[in-house]
A and B are shown apart, each in its own frame.
Chain A
Amino acid sequence: MLNAYNILETIRMIQDEYLDIRTITMGISLLDCIDTDIDKACEKVYNKIVSRAGNLVAVGQQIETEYGIPIVNKRISVTPIAMLCAACPDGDPVKFAKALQRAADTCGVNFIGGYSALVHKGFSAGDMALIKSIPEALDVTQNICSSVNIGSTKSGINMDAVKIMGQIVKQSAERTADRDCIGPAKLVVFCNAVEDNPFMAGAFHGVGEPDCEIHVGVSGPGVVRAALTKYPDASIDEIADVIKKTAFKITRMGQLVGARASELLGVPFGIVDLSLAPTPAVGDSVAHILEEMGLEMCGTHGTTACLAMLNDAVKKGGVMASSTVGGLSGAFIPVSEDAGMIDAAVAGVLSLEKLEAMTAVCSVGLDMIVVPGDITPETISAIIADEAAIGMVNSKTTAVRLIPAIGRKEGETLEFGGLLGSGPVMPIREKSPAKFISRGGRIPAPMQSLKN
């Protein structure tokens, strides 16, 4: 039964509290586009994407009108391109990036993810060529996202890949220094990457997925915060309950939109990703939820505990609201995309070390963090290794998306604009981890991997 209170609550959530569907992402397998001739392969890739996703944006807009709920992004994820590169070892992988860009332009989506390689245990044909081409690919395209999985709980951490990724991140920033170093903002280094993630920049379409499917990523930090303001003196377990109820409502909406999109597009419904994804808009911040719980500023002592509770409550509330939950599911903490995190970082309250601790209890990892431009590739690699170790040992996804601000120092700011926001350059440790990184090899899989 409809009642006036519920109707007005939904409208208030959308109008005043930034409730939206963050993304509908179509996952498309490109395994049938593999060809020994790279130009033929690129043509097949373009044709397949356009034939499957040609309607995606129009369908998204139709659902927005029907339900009156904004769908902020329409995106596509594809099979890791390194697998296509394997068949054409003499071709330049950047050709695939350009083909993907053409497909993105034709379909009108704002990102295609999947310029990716999975090298957590070692490199196979195509992987190295693709990884080395990432800086150029991110430089010559605008809407293509790249990711590399360098570790997993089952296989350990590929330290050779970690070493290379430090260099790739740095080169990527250097090549795009004239555009506020936008390159590495589209590049994620994962441990335990998931195959059905609808969120960028880390989305790719795993090989275990169907030929084509539709995923939905929900958002709503503003709604959670607004709900908490009504309980200024409640105990933490009562607050957890409020978050659960709110997450349930948000996720139900995601489920509805996903089911409708799947019906209209005629492709199977994949998953709902129950994440709290912040935007730079004031009132749409995960940091502000933590502050509403009683922290003077995000990043101070107590932040990890608050975030752990938030992350868990979001999942508990959301899991019953959707038939299939997947993706990353949890609270995101991208620094430059969250007004409260930016303030806390500028004030020096939120440090890289605290962020690292926070990533042990929430979704993903060190995300959209701006570091000094003179950072060495070895230090970037070491940060990646630290973060991957947290993911490996805790059997969770962790990721690193660092942006070296070429030519800038601590105290200055990088402006990306739009959803990527802006970030202050955060201080890093000066002592070198170069010897450790130069060793290469593999960190063996931990005891946690022996579950059989």
Chain B
Amino acid sequence: MRAVVTVIGKDTVGILHKVSGICAEYNVNVIEVTQSVLQDMFAMIMLVDITGITADFSVLVDRMNSLGKELGLSIHTMHEDIFNSMHNV
């Protein structure tokens, strides 16, 4: 099972470090990362494997949400099925 973490907002030091830190804490493996910084806007999409997650998925979602609030970023953590079903026939 995989999930997608997206981070959008103003660029600051250590975003990738903090997001991947939370993933590591719950044994969530980062498979792929794409990121771009346009002027000072930061956009990152991270594909993660949640097969071996050590807590409930909702705990990960909550942690990411509170990190987002703390850093003033919009962080969404969603199961990959929603993207697959919406955009593929």
Take A62-B58, A65-B58 as given contacts and tell me if A11 and B85 are in contact as well, using a CB distance cutoff of 8 Å. no
Q: How far apart sit A7 and B85, CA to CA, in the bound complex (Å)?
A: 11
- On chain B, the residues within 8 Å of A65 by CB distance are 57-58, 61
B45 at the interface (CB under 8 A from A): yes
B87 touches A6 (CB 8 A): yes
B82 at the interface (CB under 8 A from A): yes
> Closest chain B residue to A6 by CB distance?
B87
B73 at the interface (CB under 8 A from A): no
Contact with A11, one of B57, B76, B79 (Cβ below 8 angstroms): B76
Q: How far apart sit A69 and B34, CA to CA, in the bound complex (Å)?
A: 23
Chain B residues with a Cβ closer than 8 Å to the other chain, count: 24
Q: How far apart sit A331 and B87, CA to CA, in the bound complex (Å)?
A: 23
A66 at the interface (CB under 8 A from B): yes
B85 touches A256 (CB 8 A): yes
Chain A residues with a Cβ closer than 8 Å to the other chain, count: 21
B86 at the interface (CB under 8 A from A): yes
Q: How far apart sit A62 and B77, CA to CA, in the bound complex (Å)?
A: 13
Interface residues of A in 9-37 (CB under 8 A from B): 9-11, 15
User: What 0/1 readout, one digit per residue, does chain B (47-82) give for beta carbons within 8 Å of chain A?
Assistant: 100000000011001000000000000101111111
B23 at the interface (CB under 8 A from A): no
Q: How far apart sit A7 and B80, CA to CA, in the bound complex (Å)?
A: 9
> Closest chain A residue to B78 by CB distance?
A68
> Closest chain A residue to B44 by CB distance?
A4
Interface of B toward A, CB cutoff 8 Å? 4, 6, 8, 34, 43, 45, 47, 57-58, 61, 74, 76-87, 89
Closest 3 CB pairs of A and B: A68-B78, A6-B87, A67-B82
Interface of A toward B, CB cutoff 8 Å? 2, 4, 6-11, 15, 62, 65-69, 249, 252-253, 255-256, 320
